């Protein structure tokens, strides 16, 4: 039996952030890393490296930690949050950008619009 992404990793995201004027990816990540805000910047760098290189080998972790002055534990926390939130997935030891988070938010919007429409009669 293959476990889904949701069964392997979960992430808590603030729905109503302190800064309601979100305009950039760093603002989205601030909602994800609200307990450890210092990790949102290296998380954004990690995502940008994946995007720019069309993937990032998992073996690059030590170099990434050195460049961003973070520990292995902090790196693992970043991976856990990004994976649990549906931002990334790993295939053949390479991290890739996922559309999971966007699909999740689109589904929430669809459901709430449908629910609101039923209750506005």
Cα separations in angstroms, 31 against 1, 11, 65, 81: 33, 11, 22, 11
Q: Are 34 and 22 in contact (CB under 8 A)?
A: no
Identify the pLDDT of residue 95.
Answer: 97
**40: its two tokens:** 């949102």
pTM of the model: 0.80
Residue 94: phi and psi, rounded to 5, are -125, 130
Identify the pLDDT of residue 17.
Answer: 61
The architecture of the domain spanning 24-119 is: Orthogonal Bundle (1.10)
Nearest Cα to Cα of residue 40 among 20, 21, 57, 26: 26
In order along its 121 residues, the chain shows pLDDT tens digits of 444 444 456 777 766 666 667 788 898 898 889 899 999 999 999 999 999 999 999 999 999 999 999 999 999 999 999 999 889 999 999 999 998 888 888 998 899 999 988 766 5
Residue 51: phi and psi, rounded to 5, are -60, -50
- Give helix then strand counts, H and E, for the chain: 6, 3
């Amino acid at each position: 039996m293959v476990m889904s992404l949701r069964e392997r990793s979960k992430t808590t995201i603030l729905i109503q952030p302190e800064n309601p004027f979100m305009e950039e990816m760093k603002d989205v990540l601030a909602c994800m890393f609200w307990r450890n805000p210092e990790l949102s910047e290296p998380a954004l760098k990690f995502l940008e490296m994946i995007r720019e290189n069309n993937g990032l080998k998992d073996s690059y972790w030590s170099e990434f930690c050195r460049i961003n002055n973070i520990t292995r534990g902090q790196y693992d926390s970043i991976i856990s949050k990004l994976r649990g939130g549906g931002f990334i997935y790993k295939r053949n030891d390479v991290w890739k950008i996922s559309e999971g988070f966007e699909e999740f938010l689109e589904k929430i919007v669809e459901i709430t619009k449908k629910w609101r429409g039923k209750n506005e009669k």
